[in-house]
Amino acid sequence: MAAAFPRTYDEWRRCITVDCGIALTAPFIDERLRALRDPSDAHTDQFIEQYGERYLALVIEWFEHARSEPEPA
């Protein structure tokens, strides 16, 4: 049975890039990091309510990791 949400970087990356078909480009990563770090962002508030602060910190870490990898061609 699949996890309800990604628990590792590789699962998260697959979810974003394969399942959702979103390229992890620098502009996309920067936009998501900006929103996830903004406590006044409504979507971030919903994310925290659903998944909690610890998972938010983990997702931010994963976006930071993705930023350090080469962009898709």
pLDDT in tens, the chain (73 residues): 345 789 999 999 999 999 999 999 999 999 999 999 998 999 999 999 999 999 999 999 999 999 998 876 6
- Domain assignment of residue 2, yes or no: no
Q: What is the pLDDT of residue 70?
A: 80
Q: What is the pLDDT of residue 1?
A: 39
- Domain assignment of residue 50, yes or no: yes
Q: What is the pLDDT of residue 73?
A: 60
Domain count across the chain: 1
Q: What is the pLDDT of residue 4?
A: 73
CA distances from 17 to 20, 53, 58 (A): 6, 24, 18
- Domain assignment of residue 36, yes or no: yes
- Domain assignment of residue 19, yes or no: yes
Domain span including residue 19: 9-67
At CA 10, angle to CA 7 and CA 11, rounded to 5?
Answer: 45
- Domain assignment of residue 72, yes or no: no
